[in-house]
Structure 1
Amino acid sequence: MSTALLIGTTACSSDDNPSGEAPAPSTAQSAADRSSTTSSAPADIPASQVVAGLTAAGYTCGRDGDYAICTTGPVAVWVLTGDHKRPPVVSLHSLGAAEKATADIAKVLPQALEIAHVAPAQRISEWFGQQAGKTTAQVTEGDWQVELSVEVDTEEPGAHLSLMDRLCKTDCVAE
């Protein structure tokens, strides 16, 4: 497994690490430590490394315009690519009936937030768990604006959870 992580990280890493050594694993800082901070500057990683982490975790990743889309089961994690110090947008999507779609997102949310180094991951996951039955909700946690949207009366019902980096100042959304 560590070989797969090394290969995935090396294959998608940027030129910020010319030695070719794998970056320190995300477990170097515990999830509790990351979730207790509002700014996670030391843990920031670019979109390419988030995609590498999702790939190493078993997600299947591809591209659609400005987004990398990584899927696991019924959930797709969209990561806005670019040269930011961290992705300005990370969103999770699942199609289907509202209850099932939100439950599917809830299953992968903690892991996706950890891989993307979104803090405070635990508070965001707990907040999401409290939104059962709602079609829209939003909260600000740390540096992130978090928005839930559930489509119920459409041709493609489903749930969408978007996290936008409030510190991003340029090229913060896809064109």
Structure 2
Amino acid sequence: MLPDLTATQVVSALKTDGYDCTTDVAYAVCRKGITSIGVLTGTHPRPPVLSVQASGQVDVAWGEISNSLPRILELAHVNQPEIAGWFDQQKGKPIAQQAFGDWLVDISAEVDTEEPGVHLTLTDKLCKTNCQAE
């Protein structure tokens, strides 16, 4: 069981793993290839929201997230490795939601939009205040 990391520590771990990170209002956004990870910043004991997105054709975007998700979960100390397997099982579904421990996980696949891609969001169910960006 890995200890919780603050948002700052998660961003630092992502930078060390080769992600290019910038700050965008309430989120730190870390990018590598077509994948971006949004980390909601603040003073919480762990990030209230982690958002993993890949842009482009849905099959390609899904594969990109699928390949990088186990490492992202490890770097962020999300102690629910089964999320990666569940994500793989949802391929082809436009939306899905599941709870894993203290995390609520949402998937959406955008096919016929101006910005196609796949979005995976992990929300900390234990967070009580300032848990979403404005």
TM-score bin, normalised by smaller chain = over 0.9
1:82 counterpart SS class: coil
Q: Counterpart of 1:172 in 2: which secondary structure? A: coil
What's the CA shift string for 1:94-129, capped at 9, x where partnerless?
A: 111111111111111111111111121x21000001
Q: Is there any run of 5+ residues in structure 2 with no aligned partner, and where?
A: none
Quick one: distance in 1 between partners of 2:53 and 2:25?
17
Letter in 2 for 1:99: D
Aligned pairs for 1:118-157 within 5 A: 118-120=78-80, 122-157=81-116
The answer to which structure, 1 or 2, has the higher relative contact order (CA under 8 A, 6+ apart) is: 2
Identity over the aligned pairs, expressed in percent?
A: 50
What RMSD, in angstroms, separates the aligned Cα atoms of the two structures? 0.8
> Could you tell me which of 101, 116, 120 is aligned with 1:161?
120
Task: Pick the aligned partner of 2:6 from 32, 46, 53.
Answer: 46
The structure where strand makes up a greater share of residues is: 2
Whether 1:103 and 2:71 are equivalent positions in the alignment is no
Specify the structure having the higher radius of gyration (Cα).
Answer: 1
Name segments (4+ residues, structure 1) moved above 6 Å: none
Q: Which has the higher helix share?
A: 1
Q: Supply the distance in 1 between the matched residues of 2:55 and 2:18 (Cα, whole angstroms).
A: 20
Does 1:71 pair with 2:38? no
User: Secondary structure of 2:97's match?
Assistant: strand
User: How many residues are aligned here?
Assistant: 134
Correspondence for 1:92: 52
| TM-score normalized with structure 1 length | 0.75
